[in-house]
């Protein structure tokens, strides 16, 4: 699971040092990898977070650690004999703007700032998910709430290969039986 927040120079001037102002220590303590803040090729200063998981329940628990603005993120995996279907649903709520990423002290500081002047030109939010090897990305806008939903399906190669091998074995055995009976 990965998420990122990119800010231009105007956003940084209003926010201050993202390493101090955003809740990054809490994420590190919870096992998240935090990259940045660092200026990247697009001219924005990005803070990116990532965490691996081994099950859909693990992904749901990790998403809950993110708290606001990531709400009700759920990863569900359903398996049948032939297919595995994975779905991701939830909400990214940026209705409070940058305050959604901050602790109470920063929220108080932002309340007196001209945060309304910050737009999607200044601040970029991106949420990435990889479902069954397919990458999906969402870029919600400040001031909005974005509902996310994605699904991916893959064939279950192991059971299919085993079924084909059993079929080949059965057909070969039947052919040998018929040949030997004649």
Q: What is the pTM of this model?
A: 0.62
Residue 122 CA, distance from chain mean position:
22
72-84 pLDDT, tens digit per residue, is 888 888 888 788 8
Three-class SS state of 159: helix
Domain presence at residue 14: yes
Domain presence at residue 149: yes
pLDDT band at residue 166, thresholds of 50, 70 and 90? low
135-147 pLDDT, tens digit per residue, is 888 888 888 898 9
Residue 4 CA, distance from chain mean position:
10
Domain presence at residue 182: no
Residue 146, domain extent:
2-156
Cβ count within 10 A of residue 13: 10
- Nearest Cα residue to 120 out of 38, 2, 4, 11: 11
Task: Please count the structural domains in the chain.
Answer: 1
């Amino acid at each position: 699971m990965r998420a990122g927040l990119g800010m231009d120079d105007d956003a940084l001037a209003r926010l201050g040092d993202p390493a101090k102002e955003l809740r990054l220590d809490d994420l590190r303590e919870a096992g998240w990898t935090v990259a940045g803040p660092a200026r990247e090729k697009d001219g924005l200063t990005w803070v990116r977070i990532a965490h691996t998981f081994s099950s859909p329940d693990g992904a749901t628990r990790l998403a809950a650690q993110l708290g606001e603005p990531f709400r009700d993120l759920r990863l569900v995996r359903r398996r049948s004999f032939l297919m595995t279907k994975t779905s991701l649903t939830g909400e990214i709520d940026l209705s409070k703007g940058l305050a959604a990423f901050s602790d109470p002290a920063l929220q108080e500081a932002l309340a007196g700032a001209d945060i309304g002047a910050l737009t999607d030109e200044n601040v970029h939010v991106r949420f990435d998910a990889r479902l069954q090897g397919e990458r999906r990305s969402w870029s919600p806008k400040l001031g909005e709430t974005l509902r996310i939903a994605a699904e991916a399906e893959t064939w279950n190669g192991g059971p299919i290969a085993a079924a084909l091998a059993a079929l080949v074995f059965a057909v070969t055995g039947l052919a040998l039986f018929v040949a030997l009976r004649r």
